[in-house]
Amino acid sequence: MMEQWDQQARLAELRAQVAKLEAEINRAGQAPPRQWRATEYYTAYYATTGFILGGVAATGSLLVNIVGALLFGMQPLELIRVYLTFPMGAQALDFNAVDNGLTLAIGCCLYIGTGMLYGILFQIVLTRFAAQSSIAVQFVVVSALALAVWLVNFYGVLYWLQPLLFGGRWIVEQIPWWVAAITHLVFGWTMLLIYPLGRYTPYRVQSENP
């Protein structure tokens, strides 16, 4: 019983000391510690938001391609089937081998995943170099960047890499150039529409004092 009384007395003493310290701090007018915020371009933040928004833009690009394929009387996921020739080779064009939802679903995931990576590039370019520009300038920037990505992808990388690894240029040869260009342009235009959602806004704590 005596030990419990001693503990309560000690607790009351500590509370009194805390109250005394708080009062001294308030009398001294010491400001609370400043919260951290980015003072320069927040690259890591924009890379993260670009990764997420790139998936959204890739999904929009894929949907436009599906609708276009249906309008031209083609298989809705023909683009995905051809893209699957990169990991699968000519086997991806065999309907008996790639005529199941799981394989095409994996192809869609790969397509969207690639878009997520390119979303980082588009988000950083837009926020770092074109954030203060007019919408017309931003439109030109993303269009040029989308076409540059298409040219590098198809004719700078896939043109020699796919034959080297899989023995054929199915992506470059079977996807019409204008389809590939429009697919990349739609991705870039979608990024232009949604990139403001990933802008960095510092969090501000609301003060309790009026």
Give pLDDT, residue 38. 66
Alpha helices in 73-134 (DSSP H): 78-83, 85-88, 101-129
Work out the pLDDT band at 206, boundaries 50, 70, 90: low
Give pLDDT, residue 54. 97
Q: Which helix (H) or strand (E) holds 60?
A: helix 43-71
**pLDDT tens track for 38-51:** 667 889 999 999 99
Amino acid occupying residue 96: N
Specify the length of the chain in residues.
Answer: 210
Ramachandran quadrant class, 29 (left: phi over 0; alpha: psi -120 to 50; beta: rest): left
Q: What percent of the chain lies above the pLDDT cut of 90?
A: 51
Please state the rounded mean pLDDT for residues 178-186: 94
Q: Which helix (H) or strand (E) holds 18?
A: helix 2-28
Q: At residue 67, does pLDDT exceed 80? A: yes
Q: What residue segments make up the domains of the chain, in order of their start?
A: 43-198
**pLDDT tens track for 16-40:** 787 777 777 766 655 555 666 766 7
